[in-house]
């Protein structure tokens, strides 16, 4: 089974959010199952060229308005396997990984085409193109319209994984023209979405997957479908949900060098020292009793950090501490600063991307808050549980598939609430504070979370089975 795995980011080379973790951790798990997998990424400016051993493995041109644009493919070997980096002027010109609206559409279109040409240049025919999110959808779109008459690609089938339906990519008709791509047509596609990369990819892909079973159902409804629910409903027979995993070696408090000390379920008492070290590092009063809540998150409306602020503003009477580690939306960052000023003695707003601090927060905080308005899979709750940090999460998407509410007896590992509303979160926090004050109850929640298997073996096995189904699909259904 040969799989071309195409994504915008993959840890440890480049990580902005959960997609980076997944594209970094799933490929090695699939290779362990015998999949011959090539992971390809754009060679973003932010990747440090000088720090990498690079081997040039292919050079070719990509047609834009009938002119050939030079492209190169570099291979680098990381500890968990090789990565192929797609390089060229349209990729190098764009600032950041995401968000450069002037250049990012072309960056991702160019890299999608470069990935396909790289396979041709190396005479490596994939059985499956596994494309992730809108950034890689262009390769799916090209294949859907071109493979019938193309001896090299005629047997390749496509799987498009939605990591976040909220990001469709910009209107791209002139860019499609320039690179000779034809948009697929589907009557279920709303007019506004006709030339948006994600929507086109969803119409063109042989199969679609998303990153939890609950999210796979939710996106068929207007409340979660971002306007694409009609299109997804007609593709529902080709839509599958597979929950993400976490690499249990990378996320392991008994081996984590970023922590002041190591601990496991058997030495959970040592976690107390993690909490005081974290309180000290953050300049918060060192107090083992006070519930220390945390969010480690992109600052985005999706994540509901504003709901957390509103819920906690109404919890003056009880002692609590709250740390937020996050960056992103400037308005939400401003809101966080204001919250920090309102609660200077017991909150810290750390507005940056800091993976080692994230680890110390998972290891030292009592609760990880996830008041997401939607959450395709969510990794922070799984990482939190692995580190003994109990999730308080909205019952949506992958959160609903991983967090089991405190009222569920022995299987409970956290707290769930129903509405994306501060009152609903506040009620869950009140319950969590009561449980936290009962040390044996709290320990049981931590132990249940820590003993859960969120590793990649199971999800990788399910992707493997899905790949077999996708590879044996005769014709695409769009």
**Interface with ligand ADP (CB under 6 A):** 17-19, 21, 296-298, 325-327, 353-355, 358, 377-380, 383
The encoded tokens of residue 450 equal 């820590």
d(CA 378, CA 38): 25
Task: Please report how close the Cβ of residue 380 comes to ligand ADP at its closest, in angstroms.
Answer: 4
Q: What is the DSSP letter of 4?
A: E
Minimum CB distance to ligand ADP, residue 371 (Å): 13
Question: Minimal distance in Å, beta carbon 9 to ligand ADP?
Answer: 10
Residue 19 C-beta: closest distance to ligand ADP, Å: 6
* Shortest distance in whole angstroms from residue 109 CB to ligand ADP: 23
Give the phi and the psi of residue 282 in degrees, each rounded to 5. -85, -10
Which residue, 184 or 378, is less far from ligand ADP as judged by CB?
A: 378
Q: Which H or E element spans position 202?
A: helix 197-204
- Shortest Å, Cβ 400 to ligand ADP: 14
- Report which secondary-structure segment, H or E, holds 342: helix 330-342
CB of 141 to ligand ADP, least distance (A): 24
Shortest Cβ distance from residue 384 to ligand ADP (Å)? Answer: 9
Question: How near is the Cβ of 367 to ligand ADP at its closest, in Å?
Answer: 15
Report the residue closest to ligand ADP, judged by CB: 18
Are 138 and 197 within 8 A, CB to CB? yes
Cα separation values, 474 from 132, 206, 477, Å: 22, 9, 9
Choice between 206 and 333, CB closer to ligand ADP:
333
Letter string b/e over residues 103-137, b meaning 16 or more CB atoms within 10 A of that residue's CB: bbbbbbbbbbbbbbbbbeeeeeebbbbbbbbbbbb
Indicate the residue among 244 and 321 with the shorter CB distance to ligand ADP.
244
Minimum separation from the CB atom of position 13 to ligand ADP (A): 15
Number of other residues whose CB lies within 10 A of the CB of residue 457? 13
Nearer Cβ to ligand ADP (184/397): 397
Nearer to ligand ADP, 18 or 197 (CB): 18
C-alpha to C-alpha distance for 40 and 6, rounded to whole angstroms: 5
Tell me the pairing of strands 367-370 and 347-350.
unpaired
**Given the complex with ligand ADP, which of 12 and 230 has the nearer CB atom?**
12
Q: Which is nearer to ligand ADP, 279 or 297 (CB)?
A: 297
Q: How many CA atoms lie within 13 A of 358 on its CB side?
A: 19
Structure tokens at 274: 């993690």
Nearer to ligand ADP, 156 or 372 (CB): 372
Burial 282-318 (b: 16+ CB within 10 A, else e): bebeeeeebbbbbbbbbbbebbbbbbbbbbbeeeeee
Q: Can you spell out the DSSP letters for 399-419?
A: HHHH--BGGGGGG--BEEE-S
Nearest of 399, 395, 389 to residue 421 by alpha carbon: 395
Nearer residue to ligand ADP within complex by CB, 159 or 165: 165
Task: Find, among 179, 165, 212, 130, the residue nearest to 393 by Cα.
Answer: 212
CA distance linking residue 412 with residue 404, whole number of Å: 5
């Amino acid at each position: 089974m040969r799989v071309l795995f195409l994504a915008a980011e993959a840890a440890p080379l480049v990580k902005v959010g959960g997609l980076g973790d997944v594209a970094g951790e799933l490929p090695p798990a699939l290779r362990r199952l015998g999949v011959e997998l090539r992971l390809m990424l754009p060679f973003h400016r932010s990747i440090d060229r000088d720090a990498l051993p690079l081997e040039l493995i292919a050079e070719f041109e990509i047609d834009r308005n009938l002119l050939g644009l030079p492209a190169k493919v570099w291979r680098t070997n990381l500890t968990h396997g090789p990565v192929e980096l797609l390089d060229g002027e349209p990729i190098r010109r764009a600032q950041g990984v995401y968000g450069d609206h002037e250049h990012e559409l072309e960056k991702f279109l160019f890299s999608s085409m470069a990935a396909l040409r790289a396979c041709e240049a190396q005479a490596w025919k994939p059985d499956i193109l596994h494309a992730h999110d809108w950034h890689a959808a262009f390769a799916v779109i090209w294949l859907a319209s071109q493979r019938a008459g193309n001896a090299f690609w005629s047997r390749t089938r496509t799987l498009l994984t939605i990591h976040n339906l909220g990001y469709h990519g910009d209107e791209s008709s002139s860019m499609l023209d320039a690179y000779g791509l034809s948009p697929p047509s589907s009557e279920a596609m709303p007019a506004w979405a006709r030339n948006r990369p994600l929507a086109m990819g969803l119409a063109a892909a042989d199969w679609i997957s998303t990153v939890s079973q609950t999210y796979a159902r939710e996106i068929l409804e207007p409340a979660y479908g971002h306007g694409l629910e009609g299109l997804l409903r007609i593709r529902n027979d080709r839509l599958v949900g597979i929950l993400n995993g976490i690499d249990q070696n990378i996320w392991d408090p008994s081996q984590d060098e970023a922590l002041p000390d190591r601990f496991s379920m058997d030495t959970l008492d040592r976690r107390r020292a993690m909490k005081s070290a974290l309180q000290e590092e953050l300049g918060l009063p060192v107090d083992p009793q006070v519930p220390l809540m945390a969010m480690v998150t992109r600052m985005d409306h999706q994540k509901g950090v504003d709901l957390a602020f509103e819920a906690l503003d109404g919890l003056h009477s009880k002692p609590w501490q709250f740390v937020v580690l996050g960056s992103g939306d400037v308005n939400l960052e401003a809101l966080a600063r204001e919250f920090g000023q309102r609660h200077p003695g017991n909150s810290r707003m750390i507005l940056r991307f800091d993976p080692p601090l994230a680890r110390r927060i998972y290891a030292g905080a009592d609760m990880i808050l996830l008041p997401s308005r939607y959450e395709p899979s969510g990794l922070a709750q799984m990482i939190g549980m692995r580190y003994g940090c109990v999730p308080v999460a909205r019952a949506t998407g992958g959160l609903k598939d991983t967090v089991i509410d405190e009222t569920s007896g022995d299987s409970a590992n956290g707290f769930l609430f129903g509405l994306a509303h501060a009152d609903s979160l506040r009620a869950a926090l009140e319950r969590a504070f009561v449980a936290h004050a009962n040390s044996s109850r709290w320990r049981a929640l931590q132990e249940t979370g820590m003993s859960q298997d969120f590793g990649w073996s199971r999800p990788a096995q399910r992707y493997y089975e899905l790949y077999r189904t996708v590879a044996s699909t005769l014709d695409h259904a769009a």
